[in-house]
Each structure stands twice: as C-alpha cells, then as structure tokens.
Amino acid sequence: MKSIQSAGLTAINSIAAFGRAGLFLIHVMLHKPKSFSGAMNLLIKQIYSVGVLSLVIIVVSGLFIGMVLGLQGYTILAKFGSEQAVGQLLALTLLRELGPVVTALLFAGRACSALTAEIGLMKATEQLSSLEMMGVDPYRRIIAPRFIAGLICLPILCVIFSAVGVLGGEFVAVSWLQIHGGSFWSLMQQSVYFSTDVVNGIIKAFCFAIATTWIAVFQGYECEPTSEGIGKATTRTVVLGSLSILALDFILTAAMIGDF
C-alpha cells in the first residue's frame, strides 16, 4: 500500500513540476522588456558569459573530435580502398549528429550548470526576493536574459563546432594522411546539402538550447535555498539536460529522416 502511495506521490509531484516549469516558461517569454536598450545591455552581458566564455571548450573539443573522426574514418575506409570518402563521413557525422549533440552536452555542463548555480545562489541569498521588494521583476531582470542568451548562443556554438571539426578532419586527412584534397572536398560537397544537413543541424541545436536552458533556469529558480540545495539543483540541471538532449535528438532525427 505504502509503495503504491509513494509511486502516486512521485507521479503527482513530477506532473506538478512539469506544470510549474511550463508556467515558468510562459512567464519568462511573456515579460516584455521595459526599454529596448536596457534589455540589450542585460542580454549582451549574458551572451558574453554564456557564449563567448564557452567558446574555448567548444573550439578545442570540435578540433579534436574532427581529428579523431578523420583518423578513424581513414583507417576503416582505407580497407575498402575508398579513403576519399572520409570527407563525406566527416561532414555528415559532424553536421547531422555530433555537432549539435556534443555542443549541447558541453553547453549543459559548462554554461547551464553555471546558470543554475548563479540563480540558485541569488535565491539562497534572497537577492531575488529583494529585487521583488524593490519593484524589479526578477523574471525580466534575471531569468529572461539568461534564457534568451542560451537560445542565441547554442546554435552559434554548434555551427562553430562543426566548422572547426571539418577543419580538424581536413588537417588529419589531407595534410597528414595525404588524401587527395580535391576528391576530399568534392565528395563532401556532393553529399552534403545545405537546406537539409546544415539547416537541420541548426534546428536541432535550437531545440536543444530551449530544453537545456529552460531546465537550467527553472532548476535554479526552484532550488532549495541552501548550499546543499544549490548543489543538487546543479546536478539535476546537468543530468536532466543531457538526458533530454539525447532523447530529443532521437525524436528530431526520426522526424528529419522521415519517410517511415
């Protein structure tokens, strides 16, 4: 009896959390900024801390992932005598899957955890309630700029990741392993379509951005105002964010491949 009751409680709690998160998102999206330039100022600060500061980890991991893909692809494809196809393999894996997914996972670990911790600490030190006391809306002042900055930054980071990855793979395959550069690029260009592969990757990144930053700001806003609570909320952000990225990726890929 007890176990059934606790299962019911968990179900009710999680549905309630979903509802709160949905209302929270609507609140964030519906709060119009008072003045455009003030909002831009807040937004630019957040883009700097969320996007520009994540650039290093994105570029370095993109470079290495591209190089590893080039090396692995070369060793496997060389067995079939078609090592020129490395370019095709590299570009399609990066643009369709690895670019959006790895960027979003790194983003969840690097930027979203920081968002949760920051908002959580603001809540613990009662900065959010004092803002409210001063008549400043914390949704507008704190949450919305962070959320929108995440939406803007993740697609940009994803595009940069893919481009750097292709460059890294080209470095390994063409400069180091001596694949003919012309066939490397022409096979790549033949198989990659801008309107499907590149644009779909950006759409994926945008969906992941909505999911992870939403989770991050919501967990920060909802966290228990203690140091332990902030730690738990940060962990939850990374775990839930990563899981939702992987699950969303499956759904989006299935929808984009289509024809079933």
Partner 1 sequence: MKNKQLELMVGMFVILGFAALAYLAIQVSGLSGSSSKDVYQIQARFDDIGGLTERAKVSIAGVTVGEVDSIVLDKELYMALVTFNIYADVENIPTDSSFAILTNGLLGEKYVGVSIGAEEEYLTQGGEIYDTQSALVLENLISQFLFESTQGD
**Gap between the Cα atoms of 216 and 147, Å rounded:** 9
Return the residue of 115, 188, 211, 223 that touches partner 1, per CB under 8 A. Answer: 188
Smallest separation, CB 40 to partner 1 (Å)? 9
**Stretch 59-118 residues interacting with partner 1 (CB under 8 A):** 80, 82, 91, 95
Smallest separation, CB 131 to partner 1 (Å)? 21
Return the residue of 18, 193, 239, 255 that touches partner 1, per CB under 8 A. Answer: 193
DSSP-derived secondary structure for 183-226: HHHHHHHHH--IIIIIHHHHHHHHHHHHHHHHHHHHHHHHS-SS
Smallest separation, CB 181 to partner 1 (Å)? 12
Contact between 149 and 50 (Cβ < 8 Å): yes
Complex with partner 1: residue 160 or 230, whichever CB lies closer: 160
Residue type, 243: L
Give the total of residues touching partner 1 (CB under 8 A).
Answer: 31
Q: Tell me: does residue 162 bind partner 1 (CB under 8 A).
A: yes
Residue 34: Cβ-neighbour burial (10 angstroms; 0-12, 13-18, 19+): exposed
Complex with partner 1: residue 112 or 164, whichever CB lies closer: 164
**Gap between the Cα atoms of 4 and 16, Å rounded:** 18
Return the residue of 21, 25, 39, 55 that touches partner 1, per CB under 8 A. Answer: 55
Residue 214: name the closest of 156, 137, 150 by CA: 150
Q: Which stretch binds partner 1 (CB under 8 A): 100-108, 182-190, 230-238, 247-255?
A: 182-190
- In the shown chain, the binding pattern of residues 1 to 40 toward partner 1, with x for contact by CB under 8 A and - for none, equals ----------------------------------------
Which string of b and e fits 187-201 if b means at least 16 CB within 10 Å? Answer: bbeeebeeeebbebb
Q: Tell me: does residue 172 bind partner 1 (CB under 8 A).
A: no
From the CB of residue 7, how many other CB atoms can be counted at a distance below 10 Å?
Answer: 10
Chain residues binding partner 1 by CB under 8 A are 41, 44-45, 47-48, 51-52, 55, 80, 82, 91, 95, 155-157, 159-160, 162-164, 166, 185-186, 188-190, 192-194, 197-198
